[in-house]
Structure 1
Amino acid sequence: MKPTDKFSGKANVYSRSRPSYPNEYIDYLLSVNSLNETSRVADIGSGTGILTRQLLERNVSVLAVEPNDDMRTKAEQDLQRFEQFTSIKGSAEETTLQDNSVDLVIAALAFHWFDQEKFKLECNRILKQEGKVALVWNSRDFKSPLIKGNVEIFKKYCPTFYGFSGGIGEGEEVFNQFFRDGQYELKRFPNDLVMDFEGFLSRNLSASYSLKESDDEYQHFVEAITNLFEKYSHNGKIVMPNFTRSYLGNV
């Protein structure tokens, strides 16, 4: 299955279960990149528009580039009221955007799906002079017993699970190779997630590697997720230790 097809049929569950980004992170992006109402940001692999929405709410114009039809349609339905929102069917490697046309490129929970060399070339083409690229993930805290239990469930039931965030860890060499001269700024922002059972289950089902109802082990997978929730929840809520990690630099 092509990476662009992995989220087909998951747009609704993705939209309602995936977390947004801390306000502190949005403040940081706007401040360090001097973004304002005249700025244009390309959100590459924009999905259902979670980060796109947060930027639009700050009056930044966003070009949301998404190859998956289901995800892009969901974003268009939810964000059409924003005048500064532009939805584009394109990929990280072929955005269809004009040369030297954007002030910042963002890839939120998406960089691990890209052909990184071709994406780098595309960033250089579409960015204005000295415009930067921001790569961001909402990441689980692996010191947590809850997260460790979650990992074991995915390993047991999901054949295509190779790790969260596409298996890209915090200090991977890929960032040194992607950013110019291996120079970038790494920032971490606390972003713990509080969920009820429905939210916790949906968060697990929204993953690209998660089982679907048509899969043989689906019921056993859901049962394992349910048991995990019951083990660590309190008063019907569970806290998933989470943080937002951001890489920002020139390419």
Structure 2
Amino acid sequence: MADLRSTERFSDRVADYVRYRPDYPAAVVGWLHGLGVDPDWAVADIGAGTGISSKLFLDAGHRVTAVEPNAAMRAAATQWLGGEGRFTAAEGTAEATGLPGGSVDLVTAAQAFHWFDKAATRDEFRRLLSPRGLVAVMWNTRRLVGTPFLEGYERILHEYGVDYVSVAERYADDDAMARWFGHGYRGMASFPHGQKLDYDQLQGRLMSSSYAPKPGHPNHEPMLAALRSLFEATQDAGTVDYDYDTRVFAGRPDA
């Protein structure tokens, strides 16, 4: 990926990542199947993390190889999904997966895509694809406005987050993704998604983020105090709605 720091920055957040990160809607797979993807297509899930995106495709009947450079996250994925015969995990990066050329029908990249070196990744994904293959890039985009909770949460991240703005700005917009695919771009889709979180789950979700200051940092305790106040002011029946839009882009990157 782009640098060593990006491959290791979640190592001490794996437990929170496993417990509190959102999954992806099954509608993503349905949309890809509408583009001609078939359940017998072999999937390489790049930057697979703890296996959340891999499970989406396993549940749809695909064989999945999860490629992940972070050893702690790769171990968590194997512990969770290793009993499924169609799942394997491999050490590698988006720019150098270590997989054979032409061996993958569907290359997927989910929430980690914004950490990749885009040009080198495009070359590697093209190398991996079989003649019929496609690439699908997806991520959950947290809604920033629309409810007092969402808007208050965004203020907390700006006030207390460590490098939050620089991380948030790494996500590509629609035009940038179309340019990344080039003439082989097949389109995009967006699906509403979300989590209902009690306070402990909300705190865990926040602490799974790489920009959340950890215990011992001067922003940590003030951030949690602000989070508690926001939760108490906006909760309904003990939960808040943490809303996303799941965005997926597909195509076959050209040269």
- Residue number in structure 2 paired with 1:139: 141
Structure 1: how far apart are the matches of 2:102 and 2:184?
A: 22
Could you tell me how far apart the structure 2 residues matched to 1:233 and 1:31 are? 38
Q: Indicate if the aligned counterparts of 2:144 and 2:154 stay in contact, CA closer than 8 A.
A: no
Q: Distance in 2 between matches of 1:128 and 1:92?
A: 17
Is 1:51–2:39 an aligned residue pair? no
Question: Which residue identity does 1:23 align to in structure 2?
Answer: A
Distance 1:166 1:205 in 2: 19
- Deviations along 1:103-148, one digit per CA (max 9) or x if unpaired, are 0111111110000000000001001124211111111222323222
Q: What amino acid sits opposite 1:249 in the alignment?
A: G
2:26 to 13, 23, 26: 23
State the Cα RMSD in Å: 1.7
Task: Describe the superposition over 1:147-202 as per-residue Cα deviations: whole angstroms up to 9, x where unpaired.
Answer: 2221211111123111665542543x421331022734110111132111111111
- Give the unaligned 5+ runs of structure 2: none
Unaligned runs of 5+ in 1: none
Deviations 1:63-85 (A, max 9, x none): 10001111111001111110010
What residue identity is the alignment partner of 1:123?
F
Matched, 1:233 2:235: yes
| Distance in 1, Cα, partners of 2:169 & 2:137 | 13
Partner of 1:200: 202
What's the TM-score once normalised by structure 1's chain length? Answer: 0.93
Q: After TM superposition, give the deviation of residue 216 of structure 1 in Å.
A: 2.2
TM normalised by structure 2 equals 0.92
Q: Does 1:183 align with 2:189?
A: no
Q: Secondary structure at the match of 1:179?
A: helix
Superposition pairs for residues 141-160 of structure 1, below 5 Å? Answer: 141-144=143-146, 145-160=148-163
Change (3 A) 1:147 1:164: farther
Counterpart of 1:60? 62
Q: What letter is aligned with 2:216?
A: S
Match of 1:223 in 2: 225
What's 1:76 paired with? 78
Relative to structure 1, is the Cα distance of residues 91 and 169 closer, same or farther in structure 2, using a 3 angstrom cutoff?
Answer: closer
Cα offset for 1:21? Answer: 1.0
Identity fraction in percent: 33
Pick which of 206-215 and 103-112 moved more.
Answer: 206-215
* 1:95 match: secondary structure: coil
> 1:28 is paired with a residue of what secondary structure?
helix
Give the Å deviation of 1:243: 1.5
1:245 alignment partner in structure 2: 247
Count of residues in Structure 1 that have an aligned counterpart in Structure 2: 249
Deviations 1:176-231 (Å, cap 9, x if unpaired)?
A: 33102273411011113211111111111111111111322211111111111112
In structure 1, the partner of 2:105 is: 103
Q: What residue identity is the alignment partner of 1:214? A: G
Q: Does 1:10 align with 2:13?
A: yes
The answer as to whether partners of 2:102 and 2:128 remain within 8 angstroms in 1 is yes
Alpha-carbon spacing, 1:163–1:232, altered in 2? closer, same or farther (3 Å): farther
Is the deviation greater in 142-151 or in 210-219? Answer: 142-151
Q: Which residue of 1 aligns with 2:90?
A: 88
